[in-house]
Structure 1
Amino acid sequence: MSIRKQKLPIQCLRVLGLLDGISLLVLLFIAMPLKYWAGMPLAVTIVGAIHGLIFTLYALSIAAAQLFIQWKLYWSVLAVAVAFIPFGNFVLDRYLKKREDSFLAKPIPLLWLVYSIIFFTFIDLFTQLPVMSTYAESLGASLTVAGFIVGAYSLANTGGNILAGNLTDRIGAFKVLAAGLIGTCLLLVSYSLVDSPAMLLVVRFVHGFIGGFIVPAAFTFVANQSKKNKEGSQNAVTGAFVGVAAIVGPAFSGIVAARTSAPTVFLIVAAAGAVLTVITFIFMRKLVFKKDAEQKSLPFVWNNQVGLSFAGAFLLMFSQGALAYLLPLRVGKFGYDSSFSGTLLSVFGLVVVCIFVLRTKNLFDRIAPQTGLMIGLLLLGVSQLLLGLIDDVRIYYGIMALYGIGFAFLFPSINVLLMRGTTKENRGKAYGYFYAFFSLGVVAGSSGLGLLQTTIETLFIVTSGLLLFGTLSMLLLKRTRDRGMHMSSPS
């Protein structure tokens, strides 16, 4: 590969970073003053849409740099962070220019391409969180119907997850991933045709089913590449990509939807998915399918580790579903739009990524996964309780940071439990069921809560109660099992 081609990823990143920095300054210091001081709101609408498009391309260039340059993950995190700071892109560009010769493209590791697919999948999920309930209401849906629409994606996701898990063990990851990527892109485009709550419900359901194909296949591949006794830190790296998606997705969709519309958000994500689909076909078609096809499928076996993993997955996503449904409505009561709820959701993602990319990720190789599971559930439960009790939205930033710490403990722990309770021959099926529990958790946390005819504050408290009950139940189960093992051991 020539030096010119090796420099292409970093040069694209620098150019798009500068454009993103310029568009942010124009938005903040020209368009917004024109809106609020000169009575020209169209300026923010136009510049906001342009900035959103440039930011999306910039985010893609960061993903490409991570994939091709293979630099430390904190560089990608830093590149995302400066996009939200005026003049931040220019400072980073000056530093990158000095070190450009050390940031040359390398051959693509297959594992990083799978990470990119995971990133896209969760970008697809997290861009929906700040806008879907309010988008449903804008089409005429009631509060209860809006909850069903939010949860329809995950309800259908359950069937897609289970089917994908079985197919991954039988025919390999490539065909499953390809079907999920192509279908997801098409469904994202179809949101532009929605004109009623009923039609939105149908699109959400089909989107959820097709989207459910991607995650079990991708996570099975990553799990099978993990080193023994390094499962915790390996899953922390995987979780970092989920966390970056949690930072970029809600903030991006909240800002763009406030300036344009929710369907515009989905069209931009679809364009990014189409690019990733082409890359996947080029690099994964022969390698992954050939390797997975030689692997014999075995029946799925339930055990204690798998059961705890599934329970943790359900409770984690119950909490996420509750946030997706309740947080935009909660901050809306105080006069804030979707951009503020998107920013709040990004805070927890930023905390998660920091924990996962720094040396703190090694903690998850040392801590027992069941202990990490209980700590995570406890922190999530406390966070949900505080969101229901506190009316000062300034404190919500700290609450969402606490929520992020809980997520950081919980996500690697449940994945390590699943990996240790399965083998390569049945892990695809296990991840299919695992993410089915993820999906059921979101359904229960959004549509299930929507059935309760009570206040938003009470629903936050109900969510907290379930998470804290789960923590207590797992603690009692652990003590009972430890006591039984002590009594059965020889004196």
Structure 2
Amino acid sequence: MKTALWLYLFLFLAFFDLHAQYPILTPFAMSLGAGPAFIGWMMGMYSLTHLPGNLLAGVLVDKNGSRRYIVFSLVAAGILLLLQAYAQLPWHLLVLRAASGFALAFLSPACMTLLASLSSDSTTQGKYMSGHGIIHTLASVVSPAAGAYIVHKAGYSGTFTTLGWLLIATGLMALISVPKHAPARALASQPQPQSEPASLKPALPSGKQAGTSRRYYLLPFFVSCSQGVLFFELPLSQGQDGMVSTGVLLSLMSLGALATLCLMFLNRVSPSGRIAAALLAMALCFFTLAAFTTVPAGVVLFLLGAAKGVLFPAMASLFISLGSGGRLGRTFSLQSIAMSLGAFAGPVAAGQLRGHVSPYFIAFVLLMTAILLLPPRSISRPSVYHPGLNNPAA
């Protein structure tokens, strides 16, 4: 538990730092002379360079543990933020954001693997993942508005310098406090949970099982696409002088996520129901943003955040079930790759099509496609994956 608390502290500081940039990156790029299409590529490039880092992280985290990669990600990203304070041209920002994408690609697989390895009990793992979501959301509640406020007081250069030193300090704290190896490699030896599913394996060829499992990586791809569209369009719709309003709206979305993440009893509901309801609710929120402009954006974003608070812990439980002993790093790496591809495709597509269709409608179509391609009720079939996933007593 001590390791989890330290990790939650570092995650809070890191997420605070990263989310504080969301309302200011687009106005900063516009101040350097970038247009909407270039901004879409800039945001997408950050996610595209996640891919080589994710591929390396999947193998290296399983082999060497999480600590060194957590420290590397935080310190390297902090140094790049210090350099970002001196960007003078749009391509400077593009290069630095691409480098940041690679550096931070190690952080999520390393943190999720370390959290998941702290216990062998599926319910406890679900609580750890919910705690991760709560910490992430708490940081994102205050950080967008805080980032916009810091820019208002200190300017872009002062803001990036402050955030950069914060990340470096967090990385040094992690070097001292995070253990070299997880206290218990519980997931590497789960005789009880793994023995029951083994009896079901002959009923389904291994190749079909693996292929079926891979289909679920489309889920984070479509969700990340829709989030990329939101982070691209929201600052543009508020204008260059709307940093504060953008920050407030993003904070409202995080408050909505916090409201549902605190409902711990949802961990006892099957992921199939949570995923289906959350995807539909998110899709309807994006449709409302695209078609009903008279509805207050703050209300819609609060509801969108509430749906995200239901969806992400359910996805975490899903991918824990897909990762067998000693392969959690690879599993979370593939999840991060899917999310990186989505976060690249979303802003780029929105930047190219913004003159023809509302980007929010693009996000609506993506989420509805996710529902059609990934029927959530198939998650509960024991032949597809871990039968204990939908068992509250597991």
- Bin of the TM-score, shorter chain as denominator length: 0.7 to 0.9
2:157 alignment counterpart: 263
Moved more, 164-173 or 117-126: 117-126
Query: Which residue of the other structure, out of 330, 348, 351, is the alignment partner of 2:253?
Result: 348
Structure-2 change in CA distance of 1:262 and 1:438 (3 Å) = farther
**Quick one: which of 180, 195, 199 aligns to 1:288?**
180
When residues 429 and 222 of structure 1 are mapped into structure 2, their CA distance, relative to the original with a 3 A threshold, is: same
Q: Matched residues in 2 for 1:254 and 1:303: separation? A: 45
Question: What is the rounded CA distance, in whole Å, between the counterparts of 1:482 and 1:212 in structure 2?
Answer: 32
Q: CA deviation at 1:451?
A: 2.2
1:89 corresponding residue in structure 2: none
Q: Following superposition of structure 1 onto structure 2, how do residues 95-134 of structure 1 map, counting pairs within 5 Å? A: 109-134=2-27
Which structure 1 residue ranges, 5 or more long, are not aligned?
A: 1-107, 485-491
Q: Point out the structure with max Rg over C-alpha.
A: 1
Give 2:308's aligned residue.
407
Matching residue within 236, 246, 249 for 2:130: 236
Mapped partners of 1:109, 1:296: distance in 2: 21
Please identify runs of 4+ aligned residues in structure 1 that moved more than 6 A: 292-297, 479-484
| CA shift digits 1:417-451 (9 cap, x unpaired) | 00011123010111111112122121111123212
CA contact (8 A) 2:44 2:347 kept: yes
Which residue of structure 1 aligns with residue 370 of structure 2? 470
Q: State yes or no: 1:251 paired with 2:130.
A: no
1:374 to 276, 283, 293: 276
Q: Over aligned residues, Cα RMSD in angstroms? A: 2.9
CA distance in 1, matches of 2:45, 2:247: 21
Counterpart CA distance in 1 for 2:343 and 2:114 is 24
1:150 aligned to 2:43?
A: yes
Kindly indicate whether the alpha-carbon contact (under 8 Å) linking 2:280 and 2:371 is maintained by their aligned counterparts in 1: yes
State the secondary structure of the residue aligned to 2:22. Answer: coil
1:291 shift after superposition: 5.6
Shift of 1:477: 7.2
Equivalents in 2 of 1:186, 1:173: separation in Å? Answer: 20
**TM-superposed deviation, 1:352:** 1.4
2:244 pairs with 1:339: yes
Determine if contact 1:173/1:218 at 8 Å carries over to the other structure.
Answer: yes
Question: Separation in 1 of the partners of 2:157 and 2:219?
Answer: 33
Between the two structures, name the one with larger relative contact order (CA 8 Å, sep ≥ 6): 2
**Alpha-carbon separation, structure 2, partners of 1:413 and 1:293:** 22
Provide the C-alpha distance between the structure 2 equivalents of 1:140 and 1:117, rounded to a whole number of angstroms. Answer: 35
Structural mapping, 1:30-49, within 5 Å: none
> How far apart are residue 346 of structure 1 and its match?
0.7
TM-score by length of 1: 0.69
Q: 2:327 aligns with which of 422, 426, 429?
A: 426
Q: Measured at CA, do residues 425 and 268 of structure 1 come closer, stay the same or move farther in structure 2, by a change above 3 Å?
A: same
CA distance in structure 1 between the aligned counterparts of 2:380 and 2:162, rounded to whole angstroms: 51
Cα drift, residue 472 of structure 1: 2.7
Structure 2 matches for 1:35-184, cutoff 5 A? 109-184=2-77
Q: In the alignment, which residue of structure 1 is the partner of 2:91?
A: 198
CA deviations 1:364-393 (Å, max 9, x no partner) are: 2x221122112111111111111122333x
TM-score (norm: length of structure 2):
0.85
CA separation in 2, counterparts of 1:483 and 1:218? 29
Q: Please tell me whether the aligned partners of residues 109 and 333 of structure 2 are also in contact (alpha carbons under 8 angstroms).
A: yes
Q: Is the counterpart of residue 322 in structure 1 residue 229 in structure 2?
A: yes
Give the aligned partner of residue 361 of structure 1: 264
Q: What is residue 396 of structure 1 aligned with on the other side?
A: 297
Q: 1:482 to 1:164 in 2, by over 3 A?
A: closer
In 1: Cα distance, 2:313 partner to 2:69 partner: 24
Checking the alignment, whether the CA contact within 8 Å between 2:75 and 2:172 is kept in structure 1 is no
SS across alignment from 2:365: helix
Aligned AA (1:174): R
- Report the number of matched residues: 365
Which amino acid is the alignment partner of residue 432 of structure 1? S
Distance change (3 Å), C-alpha of 1:328 and 1:303? same
The match for 2:199 is: none
Distance in 2 (alpha carbons) for counterparts of 1:162 and 1:425: 16
Q: Give the partner amino acid of 2:95.
A: V
Q: Which amino acid aligns with 1:114?
A: L
- For 1:429-440, what aligned pairs fall within 5 Å after superposition? 429-440=330-341
Q: What is the rounded CA distance, in whole Å, between the counterparts of 2:71 and 2:43 in structure 1? A: 25
% of aligned pairs identical? Answer: 24
What is the match of residue 391 of structure 2? none
Where 1:372 maps in the other structure, the secondary structure is helix
User: Is the Cα contact below 8 Å between 1:224 and 1:424 reproduced in 2?
Assistant: no
Q: Distance in 2 between matches of 1:191 and 1:440?
A: 24
Tell me what 2:344 maps to: 443
List runs of 5+ in structure 2 lacking aligned partners.
190-208, 385-394
**Residue 61 of structure 1 aligns with which residue?**
none
- In the alignment, the residues of structure 1 paired with residue 177 and residue 249 of structure 2 have an alpha-carbon distance, to the nearest angstrom, of 36
